[in-house]
A = this chain, B = another copy of it.
């Protein structure tokens, strides 16, 4: 029996992730990660050089929950919204030991006054884990192409 994860399940998880954030259903976001997880937002330059991320680093699920709480208190979502457009996942590994993929992303930011601009582009480096019948992220590293990213808000990408 193959343990390979179907592309259909990978697409579904990717789509649910962006929906959480863009629909302002942030409270559902941590649950898309496995219990043991890593979530990092970094830049291509830092990633290439092996430097630690200067943007977001969370290696427990609780840290993800805390981040949501902080964003709610800051009322970040009152002032702007985001729209993620994902490219096709490139599944780079998929066998008994697990699946890995690279998925390009483009995030557009829409300010309260309607102004729309490209907020970030980059690639998600993901690993997947089966958690019962659900598929979850074991690791998601969002590598931003530009180093000029607005780190003040540190919303999840």
Contacts and interface: CB of A to CB of B under 8 A. Distances in A.
B121 A110 contact: yes
Interface string A10-41: 01101110110011000000000000000000
A88 interface: yes
A95 B7 CA distance: 20
A15 B88 contact: yes
Contacts of A12: 90-91
Contacts of A16: 90
Interface in A114-151: 114-118, 120-123, 145-149
Closest 10 CB pairs of A and B: A114-B148, A15-B90, A83-B121, A15-B88, A110-B145, A114-B146, A85-B87, A19-B90, A108-B121, A85-B106
